[in-house]
Amino acid sequence: MSLASFARTARIASSASARRTFTSTSLNRFHSSPVTMGVKQLKNKTEFDAAISGTDKLVVVDAFAEWCGPCKAIAPKVHAWSEEHTDVDFVKFDVDESPDVAQELGIRAMPTFLFFKNGQKITEVVGVNPPALEAAIKNNK
């Protein structure tokens, strides 16, 4: 669809007949990728406990801080892994918003990635190290 054609369509989109032409089938062209969970943000210890103990899948926990530059740098890669490895749960929590969880886990640097299976911590990776993170994901599924 050309830009001019799109603009004409947008101008008439308020009419009832135009609204009927945009079926879910035509909208699917804009959203052809499957829906994925991505990385779930945990807000408190209760959510953290449920995330690591409620599954037998590998759970990757990203302990981050909003002000942390390296955390922001690795975030897109973590999101990409969450879409690639759909058999792994990816969660994250802000150490400043959940200091009790950070203290319980002994978080001393950000980002810290902890790997849990059946509620038990199996390994961790501290810092931005994509090869080590990817290896930990693949080796612990």
Enumerate the active-site residues: 68, 71
Spatial separation of the C-alpha atoms in residues 137 and 103, rounded to whole Å: 24
Rounded to the nearest 5°, which phi and psi values hold at 43? -105, -25
List the beta bridge partners of residue 121: 116
Both structure tokens of 17: 């007949």
The SS3 assignment for 39 reads strand
Bond into 99 cis (ω within 30): no
Residue whose token pair is 């849990």? 116
Answer positive or negative: Cα dihedral of 20, 22, 24, 25: positive
Spatial separation of the C-alpha atoms in residues 107 and 22, rounded to whole Å: 50
